[in-house]
Structure 1
């Protein structure tokens, strides 16, 4: 007889959406409150992110007759991360391209100032070349890509730890 396991999709969609909503809420709060960096907001976002993955994996375990392998925990965690990361990336792109494009320009200006301060002997041509390279990473597309990759790495680490704690291999 085949060993049936619970489907991952519904849990991934639900908890991935929760994860994305947290990321989007943080971006919106930072924009509305005109915050550049907030340790409190980052800490709260981190804790909520961990909880979303833990509860998502726990929900999968409960729907799977209380059985969970490490492999299943990682699959669930990565599925949540993909859904959450994609939604967050789409919003991130829209946010930095249309809602708050000034942020990109402010980051470029900060990068320019740092290049000049850290390397006062550079010629203008060298500074321009450095800025050209920096600009490749200071755009909405790159921020969106980092949103997806960050979500995947975070999801992998949290689901690995959660899976090691919750697994029962029955």
Structure 2
């Protein structure tokens, strides 16, 4: 039986760019509806659904193009690669949003957190608020956000592709 080699890079780029574009479109929708700083869990669920859907679909298409065969390590490469490319595109969007389109985004995030802090504890001290502000500024710096975003995407891509690859794997017969 002749073994064909399908380009993993092609699938990673195609579906990674698709993932990045979908995340950017989703980010634009959140921005236009004034939900960028919202902590509503439904937004996280939608983002996770997009991530899972694109990674699993990318692995499935690769398996189909590879005559129905898929090794777990191929699934991991594809899933992590898609998550990495999509994450890089998302970081570019977030940097553009926070530095060009909406330069006071950190202030908006802090204001939302301060409001939540007051609702949780009306007697909160100014010192606690200042500490919280310093933490928000550190976490929302472009470098920290980029590192956290890429790390989260890679971790999520690994878990998703590990589970998806374990379910979809089918090795070629040795004989």
Q: TM-score range by the shorter chain?
A: 0.7 to 0.9
Distance 1:46 1:117, change over 3 A: closer
Aligned counterpart, 1:32:
32
Deviation at 1:39, TM superposition (A): 4.7
Q: Distance in 2 between matches of 1:143 and 1:121?
A: 27
Q: Distance in 1 between matches of 2:113 and 2:20?
A: 28
| Number of residues of Structure 1 aligned to a counterpart in Structure 2 | 168
Root-mean-square deviation (Å): 2.7
Q: Secondary structure at the match of 1:151?
A: helix
- Residues 46-125 of structure 1: matches in 2 within 5 Å? 46-112=48-114, 114=117, 118=121, 120=123, 122=125, 124=127
Q: Which blocks of at least 5 consecutive residues in structure 1 are unaligned?
A: none
Deviation at 1:119, TM superposition (A): 9.2
Query: What is the aligned counterpart of 1:142 among 107, 131, 144?
Result: 144
Task: State the TM-score, normalized to the length of structure 1.
Answer: 0.83
Q: Secondary structure at the match of 1:5?
A: coil
Aligned counterpart, 1:154:
156
Contact 1:70 1:160 in 2 (8 A): yes
Contact 1:22 1:49 in 2 (8 A): no
Q: Which blocks of at least 5 consecutive residues in structure 2 are unaligned?
A: none
Deviation at 1:80, TM superposition (A): 0.7
Q: Distance in 1 between matches of 2:94 and 2:126?
A: 35
